[in-house]
Amino acid sequence: MARGINKVILVGNVGQDPEVRFMPSGGAVTNLSVATSDSWTDKQTGQRQDRTEWHRVSMFNKLAEIAAALVLAACFEDDRPAGRVKKDAEVSVAAIEKTPQPEPVVSLEDVQNQQPARQSSQSAAQPSTSALSSRDKPSADLCEGLIDDKRRLVVPAMDKPPAGEPYIDPAFGTKVIRISDSAKGEVAKPMYSTIQAWNADESYIILYHTGSATEDPGHHLYDGSSYKHLRRLDIVARDIENVFWHHSDPDILFYLSAYFKYYGQLVRYNVKTNKKTVLASFDQYCGREALPTMGNDVMMQSWDDDTFGFRCNDGAGQETAFIFHPSTGKTYSTPLGEGTSYVPWFAPMPTPSGNLMRLNGDILDATLKNRVHSLDLYEFHSHSSIGQLANGHDALFATAFDPSPGGCDGGPDEGSVSEGHPDKMADQISDAVLDAILKQDKAARVACETMVKTGLVVIAGEVTTSAWVDLENLVRNTVLDIGYDGSDVGFDGATCAVLNGLGKQSPDIAQGVDRTSPEEQGAGDQGLMFGYATNETDVLMPAPITYSHRLVQRQAEVRKSGLLNWLRPDAKSQVTLKYSDGKPVGIDAVVLSTQHSPDVSLSDLQEGVMELILKPVLPAQWLDGCAAENIHINPTGNFVIGGPVGDCGLTGRKIIVDTYGGMARHGGGAFSGKDPSKVDRSAAYAGRYVAKNIVAAGLADKCEIQVSYAIGVARPTSISIETFGTGKVDDRVIEQIVGDVFDLRPYGIVKMLDLVRPIYKKTAAYGHFGREEPEFTWEKTDKVDALRQAAGV
């Protein structure tokens, strides 16, 4: 059981049958719709009460394989009304600030040595990596593959695919195969959203059976390797969410008893010896026959198993959230429901350290009395997972079902960097080299990478060309144009060292790409590329990244004009917007940090930036409506050391800044330094061109296109369109139209957008998209009429 954050994969409502999905990484995911029923006698009225609830069950990796085998042998009850379920869902991620804490029980070194969260099948912890099997090779970065931009991911309804026939889910790009038809009978729940099915060393797994006409519901223990059924566990947790494995002892699990005379007891259970130890009774909070639960979240205990979070009803309608420490026997509580800040049904969720608690959208201290801060999440988020990032910070993944119109008050935040940022310096140098070569040789193949550090520029890569370029002078002039022209700004283009490591491109690549007929030119590499457009701004780009770019671009204009002579080239911006009904309506927060000379006071700097940079760029009513404490200008107070002196710069490290700021997916390939035969660049430009024309034509309010290629093959291996429920025409119809209107072969893209020109240095700062410069042909909307005619609108 891998420690850390379990990446939440929310599978959309594709119908009423179990399915198994194979992720691009090779991992498996299954999803079931199952029903649970309760029946009881109301003691006050004497009437019989019944309740049936439908739940989504998600399983991962080895667990998914077990589920696939189970559903082939078992039947599934299905008595819902006909028709598709049309719930929306969103996945949100928020970082939790780490407060000073005592020495953690689990070391950061252990955390960093765990496998990445996207390959994890659960979010529990272990004291060391020794229990990991050989197939789970650890990675250095827990953050790898995580969605960390708080972007809402709406999961659309899908038609039920025929049994056995693969179907590509447009929300996640995963392959779906339905493996069984619905029928009546017993339901096995390997994991109901929240229970940790695997123990610490994966030697055991718990499956929950909801019962049948001949068998009561219960938890069953299986061998973790052979999947052989061992026995039914002698535990009386009525709610399957109330069972959690110990983080380090593979024989120990905890469960919250909620059954007749055992109500409200926390029990420690050794599955090897069958020994049970009652750690605490919570009858002061829980009424008899009330249902105490650990909440609808993953991992309701700290990594040292000494902090547990619960909630309960006292039988008279009062909900209480409380935490319990087995080592001391201490309990802390706070009321839920009417008259409080918290909705009922949610239990406090400990962070790995146990020193902070997440309850609804708040982070509380260990007493549940003091709010540390609030998270930018939709109100009714559940099925969450808390873990620890590689940098030691606690982090939260949360899922929200059926968000109300407008979503949460806080919206997405995006950032940009100036042309003087060291990574952008490297991008501009790489593209300056590309432009210089294309001026002389339109058939050139260029892949140029740059590194900049104190007093040094290194160029390396592969080039096939007949051109000759004075690279040293080219580099120096590029650096000087940016504004690094002396030691007082930390870097001098006139005196820095320039090292040239450019070599020849492999003939193997040319053999696979070049063709006698240029129309059949193959893709220069395999990969996925994405394009995106939205009608929330006049340039059909996401508003947060648009304003972030404009802020740092304005910083450069003010700096170069001399209006604020203490400005220096390095700067960063970040804008968080408020959204309502999917449209930006205000500013929630704005950050601008700029390098400056040492002789300017912070007050003068903040006043100058506000008056000459923020106010000319941001809408006045939005800025006026933003709380003063949420406007951060040089929040650290001092930013004298910047540029390559402060940070090493590399080509291709700002790919999200270059594109859509996290509002759309990215295939991972950088742009700068690559000639247009490289689909990493040209296909991404074409994707923007396609998506922008679709939105401009009124076929959708938002559009994301995904295109994939194989090296040496001209035609895309796939084209898919996602309009996030805003399409005026079915997405599959738009896909067909795109194939008819746009030539997305590499040669077709280059010809369509006239890309073999020295135009690329200009793209290397302030975003490749949303800037309607005459050279940026991918920003044209000249396909609107053709699209509308083909769509019949």
- The neighbouring-strand residues paired with 402 are none
Q: Distance (Å, rounded) from C-alpha 444 to C-alpha 361?
A: 54
Q: What is the DSSP string of 145-194?
A: T---S---------PPPPTT--EE-TTT--EEEE-----SS--EES--SS
Residue with tokens 């201290």: 365
Distances in Å between the alpha carbon of 47 and those of 41, 98, 691? Answer: 6, 50, 58
Q: Distance (Å, rounded) from C-alpha 84 to C-alpha 589?
A: 39
- Counting every residue written for the chain, the total comes to 793
CB 528 within 8 A of CB 684: no
Please state, as a whole number, how many other Cβ atoms lie within 10 Å of the Cβ of residue 260: 10
Q: Distance (Å, rounded) from C-alpha 331 to C-alpha 306?
A: 12
- Pairing type for strands 308-313 and 319-325 reads antiparallel
CB 397 within 8 A of CB 358: no
- Best CA proximity match to 145, nearest among 301, 26, 296: 26
Which pLDDT score is estimated for 593?
Answer: 95
Q: What is the DSSP string of 498-515?
A: EEEEEEEPPHHHHHHH--
CB 98 within 8 A of CB 393: yes
Angle at 170 between CA 659 and CA 530, to 5 degrees: 20
Which pLDDT score is estimated for 381?
Answer: 47
Amino acid sitting at position 552? V
Q: Distance (Å, rounded) from C-alpha 669 to C-alpha 652?
A: 8
Please state, as a whole number, how many other Cβ atoms lie within 10 Å of the Cβ of residue 63: 22
CB 791 within 8 A of CB 733: yes
What are phi and psi for residue 772, nearest 5 degrees?
Answer: -85, 60
What are phi and psi for residue 53, nearest 5 degrees?
Answer: -130, 145
Looking at residue 82, the DSSP 8-state letter turns out to be: S
Low-confidence ranges of the chain (pLDDT < 50): 1-18, 23-26, 33-37, 55-56, 69-155, 171-172, 179-194, 260-262, 289, 378-382, 399-410
Beta strands in 681-784 (DSSP E): 702-709, 718-722
Residue with tokens 């129309």: 519
Spell 297-336 as b/e; 16+ CB within 10 A means b.
bbbbbbbbbebbbbbbbeeeeebbbbbbbbeeeebbbbbb
Sign of the CA dihedral running 647, 652, 658, 664:
negative
As given in the structure block, the two tokens for residue 557 are: 């204009």
Distances in Å between the alpha carbon of 365 and those of 261, 294, 340, 373, 391? Answer: 33, 18, 17, 10, 21
As given in the structure block, the two tokens for residue 376 are: 């930018």
Q: Three-state DSSP class for 556?
A: helix
Those residues with Cβ within 8 angstroms of residue 732's Cβ, 6 or more apart along the chain or in another chain: 721
Looking at residue 611, the DSSP 8-state letter turns out to be: I
Q: Distance (Å, rounded) from C-alpha 472 to C-alpha 496?
A: 10
> Exposed (0-12), middle (13-18) or buried (19+): which is 286, by Cβ within 10 Å?
buried
Q: What is the DSSP string of 37-79?
A: EEEEE-TTT--EEEEEEEEEEEEETHHHHHHHHHHHHS-----
3-state helix, strand, coil in the chain (%, to 5): 20, 30, 50
Statement: the pTM of the whole predicted model exceeds 0.75: no
Which pLDDT score is estimated for 362?
Answer: 77
Those residues with Cβ within 8 angstroms of residue 489's Cβ, 6 or more apart along the chain or in another chain: 483, 568, 569, 595, 643
CB 638 within 8 A of CB 408: no
CB 139 within 8 A of CB 21: no
What are phi and psi for residue 233, nearest 5 degrees?
Answer: -75, 140
Q: What is the DSSP string of 366-434?
A: TTSSSEEEE----TTEEEEEEEE-TTS-EEEEEEEESPPTT--SEEEEEEEE-TTSHHHHHHHHHHHHH
Q: Distance (Å, rounded) from C-alpha 755 to C-alpha 750?
A: 5
Q: Three-state DSSP class for 620?
A: helix
- The neighbouring-strand residues paired with 458 are 451, 499
CATH number of 527-534+658-791: 3.30.300.10
Query: How far does the chain reach from its first CA to its final CA, in angstroms?
Result: 53
Q: Distance (Å, rounded) from C-alpha 653 to C-alpha 668?
A: 10
Q: Distance (Å, rounded) from C-alpha 734 to C-alpha 728?
A: 10
CB 569 within 8 A of CB 595: yes
Q: Distance (Å, rounded) from C-alpha 1 to C-alpha 268?
A: 19
Domain coordinates in residue numbering, the chain: 19-408, 527-534+658-791
- Pairing type for strands 456-464 and 497-504 reads parallel
Residue with tokens 């927060």: 589
Which pLDDT score is estimated for 396?
Answer: 59
Q: Distance (Å, rounded) from C-alpha 287 to C-alpha 310?
A: 14
Strands across the sheet containing 330-336: 308-313, 319-325, 330-336
Strands across the sheet containing 265-270: 243-245, 252-257, 265-270, 276-281
Q: What is the DSSP string of 658-699?
A: HTTTTSS---S---TTB-TTSHHHHHHHHHHHHHHHHHHTTS
Sign of the CA dihedral running 58, 63, 64, 68:
negative
